[in-house]
Amino acid sequence: MAGVVITYAAGRFSWTFTQGSVPATELRLKWGTSPGVYTQQKVYGVSTTGAAVNTVLPAGSVGQFYAVMVAAHATGEGAPSAEVPFVLSAGVPNGTWVFSVA
CATH of the domain at 9: 2.60.40
**pTM for this predicted structure:** 0.81
Confirm if 89 and 4 have CB atoms less than 8 A apart. no
For the cut 70, the answer to whether the pLDDT of residue 81 exceeds it is yes
Residue 101 — very low, low, confident or very high, per pLDDT cuts 50/70/90? very low
Q: Which residue segment(s) compose the domain that 75 sits in?
A: 4-101
For the cut 50, the answer to whether the pLDDT of residue 84 exceeds it is yes
pLDDT value of residue 32: 93
pLDDT value of residue 40: 94
Number of domains in the chain: 1
Dist CA 97 CA 51 (whole Å): 10
